[in-house]
Chain A
Amino acid sequence: MRPVTRNLILAIETSCDETSVAVVADGTEMLSNVVSSQIDLHARFGGVVPEIASRSHLETLEPVLEQALEEAEVSPTDLAAVAATNGPGLNGALLVGVTAAKTLALAWNKPYVGVNHLEGHLFAAFLERPDIEPPLITMLVSGGHTSIVHVRARGDYDVVGSTIDDAAGEAFDKVARYLGLGYPGGPVIDRIAENFEGEPIHFPRGMMDGTLDFSFSGMKTAVINYVRKHPDTPNDALAAGFQEAVVDVLVSKCMLAVDRFGVATACLGGGVAANSALRQRFAAECDARGVDGLVPARQFCTDNAAMIAAAADWRLRADGPTPLDTGATPNLRLGSRA
């Protein structure tokens, strides 16, 4: 058994299509982080089906919970708290994790902590680099979100830029579906682009000059229009070109925010931050500016409970437990707890 003097948090994440349970010590040291992905269940629908996600969480949560405790080699009595993502996300999916966490808190006589999923993504950075300190800029890119967050301090966030239409991951999914490449679009396009050696098609960037906001819907339309005009274009040239355009916009905007707020640290987060081209370009641009650019390991970019535990550790210290008579908030905003 591990020493029990540390602050051990068990966290549950079920906001979308991953069932995950993690145990984290002192908000930074990951003892376990079990993730069960439902991607195969949703692939034939080309997107996440909420009712399928909810049913799958209910079935998978217990085995995942058991494995997370086993791998962490902790017993429930050692825990300081039990946490769960309580928004934003799919209502039915969130309720499974929230209900399980509250029930465990009751049964084990521990405090319960409800965690904002987006705040979890922000805290993923601290899992690998406990040394970094705000102020910093974090760009959150996923299937549901694309935003640039000015983290002034832990708990003090300003969303300084966000998408006005599709999220980046959604745009990848839509373009991949249009080109018949499969689901999920991000990883598929990433793989194609990585192996592509020709000249990518150049698409307009949709920079929305001067603002930190994004628009990806026009870029998706540009791909469709291009294919209509040039039906013989190989898919890999289109996919590589689209990815290049998206990455260009994302990194340019992020660097604009870094310059505008004069921060010395920039982080990536969210599922799309697993994209190789985005990771490389982001790291290179940070280097060129002399900014500490943090690209978390892929397991901390995609949805995972370790980042929820990291955020819960801080939230518990900052404002104490969440009452047991709270539920989930599907459209929870960053900075709100419930």
Chain B
Amino acid sequence: MGVAVGTDGTVLAKCSSLTDRRHAEEMTPMVQAVLDEAGRTLADVDRIVVDVGPGRYTGMRVGITTAKTLAFALSVPVVSITSFELLALAAPDHRGPVFAVVDARRNQVFAANTTTGGPPLVMSPDELVRVLPAETLCVGDGADRYRDEFAAVAEVAPGIVPNVAAAALLTPDRSGEPGTEIQPLYLREPDAAINIKTRPGGDSS
């Protein structure tokens, strides 16, 4: 997760952490810390850019809830950007197609050809290997996790994470929307059959 503040093509401050668990705890203080470091306040914010996924559901929801709520409280628009786009922005220069590959767990990946665009793919790494164009570069935690599979047919640039600082700079050419219009990119239906009986400490009122 990460937060950045930028203006007029300059990143004023940024912070990120590789947490896989403490998103809810860290997000609000991180917003405050980054603004403080940039010498700005929330009142200075004109628009919010948010990564709408795909990714881990919990992390996505903390980020998107924060963006929507800030937009509501500050009456500013929100720009959505996908994890695929943010991975492409973080990827090294490459002559062939760049695929952003996000680990979807349960032996699946979410993938997108960020060079040509097109609809995102949801499939097993083995299936993706078979459809990758020649001279492809793969980036993202899905590419990292299944590195051996992808390395057989493509290049893999390891350790690439969505570039939050770049997101802060992307705003000028994109029009924002009201926070209520922002839709998470889940790319998969909830797994009702598996989860139906898990209500740890739950309380159906």
**For chain A residues 278-336, which have a beta carbon within 8 Å of chain B?**
302-303, 324-328, 330-332
Q: Does B62 contact A (CB under 8 A)?
A: yes
Whether A143 touches B203, Cβ cut-off 8 Å, given contacts A62-B179, A99-B66, is yes
Across the interface, do B205 and A61 meet the contact criterion of CB distance under 8 Å?
A: no
**For chain A residues 185-200, which have a beta carbon within 8 Å of chain B?**
none
Q: Which residues of B lie under 8 Å from residue A326 when comparing CB positions?
A: 25
Q: Which residues of A lie under 8 Å from residue B42 when comparing CB positions?
A: 106-107
Across the interface, do A51 and B61 meet the contact criterion of CB distance under 8 Å?
A: no
Q: How far is the CA of A108 from the CA of B28 in the complex (A)?
A: 13
Whether A99 touches B65, Cβ cut-off 8 Å, given contacts A50-B198, A89-B202, A144-B202, is yes
Taking the closest CB of chain A, its distance from the CB of B179, in whole angstroms, is 6
Q: Which residues of A lie under 8 Å from residue B62 when comparing CB positions?
A: 95, 99
Q: Which of B69-77, B95-103, B112-120, B129-137 contacts A (4 or more CB under 8 A)?
A: B69-77
Across the interface, do A327 and B69 meet the contact criterion of CB distance under 8 Å?
A: no
Interface string of B20-46 (1 = CB under 8 A from A): 001111111101100000000010000
Across the interface, do A325 and B26 meet the contact criterion of CB distance under 8 Å?
A: yes
Taking the closest CB of chain A, its distance from the CB of B31, in whole angstroms, is 7
Interface string of A48-62 (1 = CB under 8 A from B): 111110110010011
- The contact size tier of chain B is 35 or more
Q: Which of A12-20, A210-218, A231-239, A255-263 contacts B (4 or more CB under 8 A)?
A: A12-20
- Residue of B179, B190, B204 near A55 (CB, 8 A) is B190
Q: Does A91 contact B (CB under 8 A)?
A: yes
Across the interface, do A58 and B65 meet the contact criterion of CB distance under 8 Å?
A: yes
- Residue of A15, A47, A271 near B197 (CB, 8 A) is A47
Taking the closest CB of chain B, its distance from the CB of A35, in whole angstroms, is 10
Taking the closest CB of chain A, its distance from the CB of B204, in whole angstroms, is 3
Q: Which residues of B lie under 8 Å from residue A61 when comparing CB positions?
A: 65, 68
Q: Does B201 contact A (CB under 8 A)?
A: yes
Number of A-B residue pairs at CB separation under 8 A: 155
Across the interface, do A90 and B205 meet the contact criterion of CB distance under 8 Å?
A: no
Across the interface, do A49 and B73 meet the contact criterion of CB distance under 8 Å?
A: no
Q: How far is the CA of A45 from the CA of B202 in the complex (A)?
A: 16
Across the interface, do A144 and B201 meet the contact criterion of CB distance under 8 Å?
A: yes
Q: Which residue of B lies closest to A69 (CB)?
A: B72
A48, A88, A98, A169 — most chain B CB neighbours (10 Å): A48
**For chain A residues 68-107, which have a beta carbon within 8 Å of chain B?**
76, 87-92, 95-96, 98-100, 102-107
Q: How far is the CA of A47 from the CA of B22 in the complex (A)?
A: 28
Whether A16 touches B202, Cβ cut-off 8 Å, given contacts A51-B192, A62-B180, A95-B58, is yes
Across the interface, do A103 and B69 meet the contact criterion of CB distance under 8 Å?
A: yes
- Residue of A54, A89, A108 near B201 (CB, 8 A) is A89
Across the interface, do B25 and A325 meet the contact criterion of CB distance under 8 Å?
A: yes
Q: Does A241 contact B (CB under 8 A)?
A: no
Q: Which residues of A lie under 8 Å from residue B61 when comparing CB positions?
A: 54, 58, 92, 95-96, 99
Q: Does A133 contact B (CB under 8 A)?
A: no
Across the interface, do A49 and B190 meet the contact criterion of CB distance under 8 Å?
A: yes
Q: How far is the CA of A94 from the CA of B7 in the complex (A)?
A: 34
Across the interface, do B24 and A98 meet the contact criterion of CB distance under 8 Å?
A: yes
Q: Which residues of A lie under 8 Å from residue B31 when comparing CB positions?
A: 103, 106
**For chain B residues 153-205, which have a beta carbon within 8 Å of chain A?**
179-180, 184, 186, 190-192, 195-205
Q: How far is the CA of A50 from the CA of B29 in the complex (A)?
A: 27
9 A-B pairs within 8 Å (CB atoms) are namely: A16-B204, A49-B192, A50-B198, A55-B186, A62-B180, A87-B201, A95-B24, A100-B68, A103-B28
Taking A76-B73, A103-B28, A142-B204 as known contacts, 10 extra A-B pairs with beta carbons closer than 8 A to each other, sorted by chain A number, are A49-B190, A89-B202, A96-B61, A98-B24, A99-B61, A106-B42, A107-B74, A144-B201, A173-B204, A325-B25
